Structure 1
Amino acid sequence: MRLAAFALLLLAGCGAAGTVPTTPARQGVTFVPDANGLGVAGRSTRIDFGRSPSGVIPVMEREVGQGRDKPLANCPSGVVRVVDYAGLELSFSDERFVGWRQDDASAGQTCA
């Protein structure tokens, strides 16, 4: 009986193959898009254009949750990735954060 219970515990701890646990987004952080990138409401912290994707994407995912890659349609040359964070789309070149789009507003390099 103990062996069976131990085996069930071991199996319960194994996730499905290929699944990645996700961290829930924090609450209360509001990003404010502007002409230079993203500000953080109520703080002096910023994510300005020119920052490396490796310095932007993990912060966004930690604060607002997992983003969704969008197709690259009608993008200016140099934009290689667009990530949508619940309606806030961020554009990236290979090495830089280059633009944002939200509703009818945008700044920097964005896809039409």
Structure 2
Amino acid sequence: MRAGAAALAVLVAGCVSTPPDRVSTLFLPDTAGLAVSGSPLRVDLGRAPDGVIAALSRDLGPPRSLPTATCPAGIERRLAWGDLVLTFTRERFIGWQSGAGQAGTVCG
């Protein structure tokens, strides 16, 4: 009886499909903020920080905090996902840097 139960457990386990690998959203920086590849959705400059951070973190993982010592007045937060760095005031997403490109207000 035990062997039959074990065989049934192995058989049922083989029927469970493995979930597909999660596909990360590709955020494409442009002059107005971040376009979402393959979608009409955007993460534009001027959006509230909590919504921007949540959207990127959901797909790219948690950000790294960067110092703000070299930033213009008003920038309170600098967060990086890989080489994409976003800058924020207390109330708004105000700029991005990635490689040699940038838009909005960024740190020096």
Larger of the two Rg values belongs to structure? 2
Give the number of aligned pairs.
87
Q: Which of residues 86, 94, 97 is equivalent to 1:98?
A: 94
How high is the sequence identity, in percent, across the aligned residues?
41
Distance in 1 between the 2:87 and 2:99 partners? 15
Shift of 1:73: 2.8
Matches of residues 15-26 of structure 1 in structure 2 within 5 Å? Answer: 26=22
Q: TM-score, normalised by structure 1?
A: 0.75
Aligned residue among 49, 59, 73 for 2:69: 73
Alpha-carbon RMSD across the aligned residues, in angstroms, is: 0.9
Residue 96 of structure 2 contacts residue 106 of structure 2 at CA under 8 Å; is this kept in 1?
yes
Q: Describe how 1:30-41 pairs up with structure 2 within 5 A.
A: 30-41=26-37
- List 4+ stretches of structure 1 deviating above 6 A: none
1:98 positional shift: 0.2
TM-score norm. by structure 2 comes to: 0.77
**Contact 2:24–2:60 (Cα < 8 Å) also in 1:** no
Report the Cα offset of residue 57 of structure 1. Answer: 0.4
